[in-house]
């Protein structure tokens, strides 16, 4: 059946049905998540239960997505237990949307974690939306002792950018690099989380000079982006350095990065040189001019599809 929003079903039921609704909603969002509100806290007077404040969210479904609105605060329908005598645990509070005639309710639920020296959140049931992971300390006699850990997943409209995901600025004023060619330094780790597969832009900026006893000596400064401890293929940029001149080294790259936690870093150093000099980097004022520090930025540029 082909139909559209605003089309009322006819006597034969041809028109906008719930499946079409979910498909249209799903086309508007790159990823499910919280739109607004829905913060979570433990309830002191109800053992084993959590409360979720009013708000709205986009929830996953096998045939699209649903948009949920909680007009008032709600408690989890099921309950866990109070704190373990020896170990902390992490509970996962989530939404489940019933999409059948037998169950057309939004359920606020909790998956109870296992106490451990290094506790992990339990798995999220299929078709559900995580609201928060709540850590309950060992020996807790009230759910009010639980506190939120980890990231929150927010809903992202299709085509939207997450903006600046991370930035590292090295403001060290006077830095001398290694004078040995191809002795690399791996620096400036930036960790970030992507809710979906994304196009991500990586940028590097620095002002570098080559210091050498002979004014006609030269060097070259190479910068390579790394993702999760591996060099990104074909991401090296090399800049020609001269004695006594601050040269602006720039590297930028757009890559597709899959959903999840990631870390970007920089591998940098002299690629080649003449003479016995080394590289010299500066930040701040110098002889009436002002120079930026070495800067690495990670920008989201939209969904990878």
Structure tokens given for 197: 């597969």
Residue 241 lies in a domain: yes
Say if residues 228 and 262 touch (Cβ distance below 8 Å).
yes
Q: Are residues 220 and 181 in the same domain?
A: yes
Mean pLDDT for the stretch of residues 240-262: 89
b/e map 34-72, b = 16+ CB within 10 Å: bbeebebbbbeeeebbbbbeebebbbbbeebbbbbebee
Residue 51 sits in the same domain as residue 168: no
pLDDT in tens, 193-239: 888 889 999 999 998 888 777 778 888 899 999 999 999 999 999 99
Number of domains in the chain: 2
Pair 113, 186 in one domain:
no
What's the Cα-to-Cα distance from 270 to each of 37, 169, 246, 280, 298, rounded to whole Å?
50, 20, 15, 11, 24
Asked whether residue 78 is assigned to any structural domain, the reply reads yes
| In a domain? residue 112 | yes
My answer on whether 135 and 170 are in the same domain is: no
- Answer for the pair 266, 187: CB distance below 8 angstroms, yes or no: yes
CA distances from 41 to 52, 55, 290, 296 (A): 7, 14, 48, 36
CB atoms < 10 A from the CB of 214, how many? 11
Residues 180-195, mean pLDDT to the nearest whole number: 90
**Residue recorded with tokens 């991500």:** 200
State the CATH number of the domain containing residue 187: 2.60.120.660
Q: 76 and 186 share a domain?
A: no
186 and 62: one domain?
Answer: no
Q: Hey, how many other C-beta atoms are within 10 angstroms of the C-beta on 111? A: 20
Q: What percent of the chain has pLDDT over 90?
A: 46
How many residues are recorded in the chain?
305
Is residue 82 within 8 A of residue 140, CB to CB? The reply is yes
Q: What is the predicted pLDDT for the residue at 158?
A: 83
pLDDT at 121: 94
Q: How far apart are CA 192 and CA 186, in angstroms?
A: 18
Does 137 share its domain with 110? yes
Among 138, 156, 174, which residue terminates a domain?
Answer: 156
Same domain for 176 and 288? yes
- On whether residue 111 sits in a domain, the answer given is yes
pLDDT reported for residue 177:
77
Under 8 Å CB-to-CB from 195, ≥6 apart: which residues?
30, 31, 33, 153, 154, 156, 259
* Residue 61 structural domain: 28-156
Residue where a domain stops, chosen among 127, 156, 185: 156
Q: What is the pLDDT of residue 153?
A: 87
Residues 44 and 118 in one domain: yes
Closest of 3, 22, 6 to residue 14, by C-alpha: 3
Asked, for residue 207, whether it belongs to a domain, the answer is yes
Question: Is 12 part of any domain?
Answer: no
pTM over 0.85? The answer is no
Q: Examine residue 10 and state whether it is found in any structural domain, yes or no.
A: no
- Collapse the DSSP code of 137 into the 3-class scheme (helix H, G, I; strand E, B; otherwise coil) and give the result: coil
Torsion of CA 179, 180, 183, 189, to 10 degrees: 0
Per-residue pLDDT reduced to its tens digit, 49-83: 999 999 999 998 888 898 999 888 899 999 888 88
Which residue among 105, 134, 156 closes a domain? 156
**pLDDT tens per residue across span 22-52:** 888 888 888 899 999 999 999 988 888 999 9
Residue 9 covered by a domain: no
Residues 192 and 119 in one domain: no
Residue 226 sits in the same domain as residue 103? no
Give yes or no: residues 117 and 230 share one domain.
no
């Amino acid at each position: 059946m082909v139909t559209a929003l605003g089309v009322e079903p006819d006597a034969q039921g041809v028109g906008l049905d719930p499946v079409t609704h979910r498909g249209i909603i799903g086309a508007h969002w790159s990823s499910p998540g919280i739109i607004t509100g829905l913060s979570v806290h433990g309830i002191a007077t109800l053992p084993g239960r959590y409360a979720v404040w009013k708000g709205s969210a986009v929830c996953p479904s096998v045939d699209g997505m649903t948009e949920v609105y909680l007009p008032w605060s709600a408690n989890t329908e099921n309950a866990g237990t109070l704190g373990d005598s020896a170990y902390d645990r992490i509970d996962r509070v989530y939404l489940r949307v019933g999409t059948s005639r037998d169950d057309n309710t939004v359920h606020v639920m909790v998956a109870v974690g296992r106490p451990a020296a290094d506790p992990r959140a339990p798995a999220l049931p299929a078709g559900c939306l995580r609201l928060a992971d709540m850590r309950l300390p060992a020996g807790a006699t009230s759910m009010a002792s639980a506190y939120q850990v980890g990231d929150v997943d927010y809903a992202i409209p299709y085509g939207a950018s997450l903006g600046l995901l991370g930035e590292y600025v090295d403001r060290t004023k006077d830095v001398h690099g290694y004078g040995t060619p191809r002795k690399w330094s791996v620096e400036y780790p930036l960790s970030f989380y992507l809710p979906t597969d994304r196009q991500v832009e990586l940028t590097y900026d620095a002002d570098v000079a080559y210091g050498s006893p002979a004014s006609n000596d030269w060097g070259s400064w190479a910068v390579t982006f790394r993702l999760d401890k591996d060099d990104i293929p074909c991401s090296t940029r090399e800049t020609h350095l001269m004695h006594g001149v601050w040269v602006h080294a720039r590297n930028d790259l757009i890559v597709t990065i899959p959903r999840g936690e990631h870390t970007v870093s920089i591998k940098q150093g002299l690629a080649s040189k003449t003479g016995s000099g080394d590289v010299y980097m500066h930040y701040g004022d110098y002889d009436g001019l002002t120079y930026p520090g070495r800067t690495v930025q990670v920008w989201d540029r939209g969904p990878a599809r």
